[in-house]
Chain A
Amino acid sequence: SQKIEQNSEALNIQEGKTATLTCNYTNYSPAYLQWYRQDPGRGPVFLLLIRENEKEKRKERLKVTFDTTLKQSLFHITASQPADSATYLCAHYSSASKIIFGSGTRLSIRP
């Protein structure tokens, strides 16, 4: 079955460093991958979408890569700030055009 996984449940890094989160997929080839941010008690907020024919996409301090050989997407936050602390979810569109989420990585940026 199609699976999308975020192997790191939590990630703690020092302010100013680059945070790198990983999303792996198995048993299928998604045409798109998406990344969302979710704060406690709130709904997810869309950040970036990357297509399979795009190697990299950027938005301000965010960068997403898509490696179809490794079946992996990396999500980077450069010059991280405590305000970046949140849970980050990768997601894909299933064959039925439904968004399916990975388990999420809880990112904590310490001052």
Chain B
Amino acid sequence: GAVVSQHPSWVICKSGTSVKIECRSLDFQATTMFWYRQFPKQSLMLMATSNEGSKATYEQGVEKDKFLINHASLTLSTLTVTSAHPEDSSFYICSAREGTPKSYEQYFGPGTRLTVT
């Protein structure tokens, strides 16, 4: 089956620094990738949708200048949390969808735990 990986699986950073999280589709080409955030005991909240080669579309309330998304290739998307603060500590999950028109399945990565101290 389709596999999506994320790196790193966890990261601790100091307040004010930036952190980059990678999301890769390992055995398929992902024309669309999604980034979610999940706080403890809450569901996944969609942050943004990115299509390869174009700018990401952010959900309402998500700061695009704080959460920079780059989807430069069909197998890689990155999320950079800029000037991180403790309230950005969360579980970040990416997912990817193949480019076939009939494909409705999204494949999810294992998540990245971000802790900002």
A contact residues vs B (CB 8 Å cutoff): 32, 36, 41-46, 49, 89, 93, 96, 98-104
A45 & B108 in contact (Cβ 8 Å cutoff): yes
Q: Does B106 contact A (CB under 8 A)?
A: yes
A59 and B29 CA atoms in complex are apart in Å by: 27
Residues of chain A contacted by B93 (CB below 8 angstroms): 43-44
How many of chain B's residues touch chain A, expressed as a range? 20 to 34
A19 and B102 CA atoms in complex are apart in Å by: 32
A103 & B34 in contact (Cβ 8 Å cutoff): no
Tell me the total A-B contact number using a CB cutoff of 8 A: 43
Can you list the 10 inter-chain pairs with the closest CB atoms, starting with the nearest? A43-B108, A103-B43, A101-B43, A43-B111, A101-B44, A43-B93, A43-B110, A104-B43, A44-B108, A43-B109
B44 touches which of A32, A41, A44, A49 (Cβ 8 Å): A44
Which chain B residues numbered 90 to 116 have a C-beta less than 8 Å away from chain A? 91, 93, 95, 104-111, 113
Residue of B nearest to A104 (CB): B43
Residues of chain A contacted by B34 (CB below 8 angstroms): 98-99
A33 and B91 CA atoms in complex are apart in Å by: 24
Residues of chain A contacted by B44 (CB below 8 angstroms): 44, 89, 101
Min Cβ gap A61→B in Å is 20
Q: Does B46 contact A (CB under 8 A)?
A: yes
A98 and B34 CA atoms in complex are apart in Å by: 8
Residues of chain B contacted by A36 (CB below 8 angstroms): 108
A98 & B49 in contact (Cβ 8 Å cutoff): yes
A41 & B113 in contact (Cβ 8 Å cutoff): yes
A101 and B106 CA atoms in complex are apart in Å by: 13
Q: Does B54 contact A (CB under 8 A)?
A: no
B42 & A42 in contact (Cβ 8 Å cutoff): no
B43 & A42 in contact (Cβ 8 Å cutoff): no
